[in-house]
Chains A and B, each alone.
Chain A
Amino acid sequence: MAFARTWLLPALLLLAAVALPFLVPTYYVQFASKVLIMGILAMALNLVVGFGGLVSMCHAAFFGLAGYVLAIATPKYDPASFWTSFPLAVGVSAFAALIIGALALRTRGVYFIMVTLAFGEMLFFLFHDTKLAGGSDGAFINYKPDVTIGGVTLLNLDKPLIFYLTVLAFTVATIALLTMLVRSPFGHALQAARDNERRARSLGFPIFRLRLTAFVISGAVAGVAGYLAAAQYGYVAPQMLGWHVSATVLVMVLIGGLRSVAGPLVGALVLLGLEEVLKSSTEYWKLIEGLVVIAIVLMLPDGMRHLLNAVFGPADDRSEEAAVGEAKHV
Chain B
Amino acid sequence: MSERAANASMQAVALSKSFGGLRAVADVSLDVHTDEIHAVIGPNGAGKSTLINLLSGDLHVSGGSIHLDGRDVTRLRSERRARAGIGRSFQKTTIFAQSTVHENVRLAAQAHAKSPLRMFGGVRGDAAVNRAAHEALEQTGLMPRKATPANKLSHGEQRQLEIAMVLATTPRIILLDEPLAGMGLQEARRIVELIASLRKGHAVLLVEHDMDAVFELADRLTVMQDGRVIATGSPNEVRRDPAVRAAYLGTHGDAA
Contacting residues of chain B (4-50) with chain A, CB-CB under 8 angstroms: 19, 22, 24, 44-50
Q: Tell whether, in the assembled complex, residue B82 and residue A199 are in contact, meaning their CB atoms are under 8 Å apart.
A: no
Chain B residues near A196: list those with CB within 8 A. Answer: 94-97
**Cross-interface CB contact of B117 among A180, A210, A327, A330, cutoff 8 Å:** A210
Judge whether A159 is part of the interface by a CB distance below 8 angstroms: no
B50 touches A327 (CB 8 A): yes
B95 and A199 contact, CB distance less than 8 A? yes
Neighbouring B residues of A329 by C-beta, 8 Å = 19, 22, 24
Closest to A327 in B: B49
Q: Say yes or no for A31: interface residue by CB 8 A criterion.
A: no
**How many residues of chain B have a CB within 8 Å of chain A?**
49
**Does B248 belong to the interface (CB within 8 Å)?**
no
Asked if A202 meets B92 with Cβ closer than 8 Å, knowing A184-B122, A188-B123, A328-B50, the reply is: no
A206 within 8 A of B: yes
B222 is an interface residue with CB less than 8 A from chain A: no
Cβ contact of B118, chosen from A184, A201, A327, cutoff 8 A: A184
Give the dominant DSSP class at B's interface: loop
B residues in contact with A181, CB < 8 Å: 119
- Secondary structure of the A contact surface, majority rule: helix
Cα-based distance from A185 to B53 in the complex (angstroms): 27
Interchain CB contact (< 8 A) of B58 among A183, A189, A202, A209: A202
Say yes or no: B50 contacts A185, CB within 8 Å. no
Looking at B106-114, B138-146, B197-205, B237-245, the stretch in contact with chain A turns out to be: B106-114
CB distance from B175 to the nearest CB of A (A): 9
Residues of chain A with a CB closer than 8 A to B253's CB:
none
> Which chain B residue has the least Cβ–Cβ distance from A184?
B119
User: Across the interface, which residues of A come within 8 angstroms of B58, CB to CB?
Assistant: 198, 202
Are B92's CB and A320's CB within 8 A? yes
B184 contacts the other chain (CB 8 A): no
Q: Decide if B110 touches A185 in the complex (CB within 8 Å).
A: yes
Q: Taking A203-B82, A204-B82 as contacts, is the C-beta distance between A327 and B169 under 8 angstroms?
A: no
Which of B83, B96, B120, B126 has the largest count of A CB atoms less than 10 A from its CB? Answer: B96
Which of A180, A199, A316 is close to B119, meaning CB atoms less than 8 Å apart? A180
Query: 25 A-B pairs, CB-CB below 8 angstroms?
Result: A181-B119, A183-B122, A184-B123, A185-B110, A185-B116, A185-B118, A185-B121, A185-B123, A185-B126, A186-B117, A187-B119, A189-B111, A192-B107, A195-B97, A203-B82, A203-B107, A204-B79, A204-B116, A205-B79, A210-B117, A320-B92, A329-B19, A330-B44, A330-B47, A330-B49
Given A185-B115, A203-B111, 19 more contacts at CB 8 Å?
Answer: A180-B119, A185-B121, A188-B123, A189-B116, A192-B96, A196-B97, A198-B90, A199-B95, A202-B79, A203-B107, A204-B112, A205-B111, A206-B79, A209-B117, A314-B97, A316-B97, A328-B24, A330-B44, A330-B48
